[in-house]
């Protein structure tokens, strides 16, 4: 199973933010048995922890020196990496106006100091349950129901993320596009139910060719798969593609409609790039797709590859 699908079985992570030690201690005592607790005494530290540990819920003091709770909340909601972390404001000021401002900023709830332990516990539990359900729904929405690998939506999301990472770190990013050869004939000959089984088997074989947790295999369309390999140069990606091809052939799935032997095979196109802001991420997919068509025209069951040109050739 891919790492992004595993819903955590461990204790939920709770971040307590307050500039008064005593307030943190009260909350700590309340939740230390049921939660893994992280603590911050100012806004900067809170932002840092949100990025590094991705808490499931933040209890955020509003009144703090430096970055106050509202500003911390605003920044968390503005960052795609932290915008889904639910925030409950904890404040001494219980005016309606404060509450409205907090909710406007994207907080899920409001707790007034001095806290009532039973109420705080109930609210925190409610929001932790909602967060867990949300995480499950979010990962299901990114899943291809038939093959169990990621779907195209997940691929596009990760491509955008990896693209920015490649720009930032000046690291190569590779994409492999994979297509099952003569798949329409397979369906015509063996029927759609067997076609589905074939897709599942091929997805499994492709997935076995990738090892690192941040590599992603997705079903891109009907019989087409796409693989995203961050931090990977062209030659490394070609090796993965060759392994995918070999894994599929090793399945020895009978395919009498194929013109290149009696078993199911795949054609693969590989492209790599060091990303920059002047090109769109989709250009990398198009280049890999172009290489895939090359592989098809050259006789299928093979890998074609090339770097995506990122600047115009010299005159």
CA-wise closest residue to 240 among 272, 264, 263, 262: 272
CA dist., res. 309 & res. 272, Å (int): 9
Residues in Cβ contact with 270 at an 8 Å cutoff, skipping those fewer than 6 apart: 174, 175, 176, 234, 237, 238, 241, 288, 291, 303, 304, 305, 306
223 is catalytic: yes
Measured from the CB atom, the residue of 19 and 71 that comes closer to Mg ion is 19
Site for Mg ion in 167-226 (CB under 5 A): none
CB of 112 to Mg ion, least distance (A): 13
Smallest distance from the beta carbon of 40 to Mg ion, in angstroms?
A: 12
CB of 70 to Mg ion, least distance (A): 12
Q: Does 63 engage in binding with Mg ion (CB under 5 A)? A: yes
- Which residue is catalytic, options 158, 207, 223, 287? 223
Sorted by sequence, the CB contacts under 8 Å of residue 288 that are 6+ apart come out as: 175, 176, 177, 226, 269, 270, 271
Under the binding rule (CB under 5 A), the answer on residue 98 touching Mg ion is no
Span of 25-33, 58-66, 150-158, 263-271 interacting with Mg ion by CB under 5 A: 58-66
Report the residue closest to Mg ion, judged by CB: 63
Q: Is the separation of the CB atoms in 143 and 150 below 8 Å?
A: yes
Residue number, 87 or 273, with CB nearest to Mg ion: 87
Q: What part of residues 13-32 is at the interface with Mg ion (CB under 5 A)? A: 19
Least distance in angstroms from the C-beta of 196 to Mg ion? 58
CA atoms within 13 A on the CB side of 231: 6
Cβ distance to Mg ion smaller for residue 43 or 86: 43
Residue of 56, 60, 32 whose CA lies nearest to 46? 60
Q: Among residues 2, 30, 55, 61, which is the contact residue for Mg ion, using CB under 5 A?
A: 61
Active site residues: 223
Q: Which residues bind Mg ion (CB under 5 A)?
A: 19, 61, 63-64
């Amino acid at each position: 199973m891919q790492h992004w699908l595993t819903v955590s079985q461990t204790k939920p992570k709770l971040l307590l933010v307050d500039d008064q030690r005593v307030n943190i201690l009260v909350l700590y005592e309340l939740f230390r048995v049921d939660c893994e607790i992280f603590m911050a005494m100012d806004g900067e530290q809170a932002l840092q922890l949100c990025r590094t540990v991705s808490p499931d819920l933040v209890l955020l003091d509003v009144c703090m020196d430096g970055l106050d709770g509202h500003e911390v909340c605003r920044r968390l909601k503005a960052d795609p990496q932290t915008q889904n972390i639910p925030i409950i404001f904890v404040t001494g000021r219980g005016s309606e106006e404060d509450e409205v401002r907090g909710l406007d900023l994207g907080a899920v709830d409001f707790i007034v100091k001095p806290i009532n332990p039973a109420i705080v516990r109930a609210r925190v539990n409610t929001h932790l349950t909602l967060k867990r359900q949300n995480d499950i729904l979010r990962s299901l929405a990114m899943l291809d129901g038939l093959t169990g690998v990621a779907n195209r939506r997940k691929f596009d999301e990760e491509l955008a993320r990896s693209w920015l990472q490649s720009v930032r770190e000046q690291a190569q990013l590779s994409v492999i596009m994979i297509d099952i050869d003569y798949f329409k004939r397979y369906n015509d000959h063996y029927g759609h139910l067997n076609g589905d089984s074939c897709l599942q088997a091929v997805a499994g074989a492709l997935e076995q060719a990738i090892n690192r947790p941040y590599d992603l295999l997705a079903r891109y369309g009907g019989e087409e798969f796409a693989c995203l390999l961050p931090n990977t140069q062209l030659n490394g990606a070609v090796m993965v593609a060759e392994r995918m091809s070999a894994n599929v052939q090793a399945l020895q799935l009978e395919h009498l409609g194929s013109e290149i032997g009696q078993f199911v095979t795949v054609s693969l196109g590989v492209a790599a790039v060091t990303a920059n802001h002047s090109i769109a991420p989709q250009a990398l997919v198009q280049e890999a797709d172009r290489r895939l068509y090359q592989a098809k025209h050259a006789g299928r069951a093979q890998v074609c590859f090339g770097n995506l040109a990122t600047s115009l050739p010299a005159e």
